[in-house]
Amino acid sequence: MILFFIFLIVILSVGVISYPLFFNNLQIYRNNSAIKSKSGYANFWLSALSDLNEDYKLGRISKSDYLKQKTSLQRNYLNSI
């Protein structure tokens, strides 16, 4: 009976810890600051690209997510120029 409770606690612990690893959504990079000039928007998108590259190099996001977000940020940057 004690082994059953230990097994149950271990399974629940693994489930709670691993839940965010498997059910993680893409992070949407939002512009939280009020940018008034056109060059400010371009700087914002370049900053977002830089943050994305750092996250990829540190292994925080997968390659497929990196490529999706990178193309999206590059399009937004080119539209802001």
Closest CA to 72 of 9, 64, 34: 64
pLDDT category of residue 21 using cuts at 50, 70 and 90: confident
Q: State how far the alpha carbon of 38 is from the alpha carbons of 13, 32, 41, 43, 66, in Å.
A: 49, 16, 5, 9, 26
Contact assessment for residue 45 and residue 6, using Cβ atoms and an 8 Å cutoff = no
The rounded percent of the chain whose pLDDT value lies above 90 is 36
Over residues 64-76, the mean pLDDT reads 91
Query: Using CA atoms in the order 50, 54, 59, 64, what is the torsion angle rounded to 10 degrees?
Result: 10
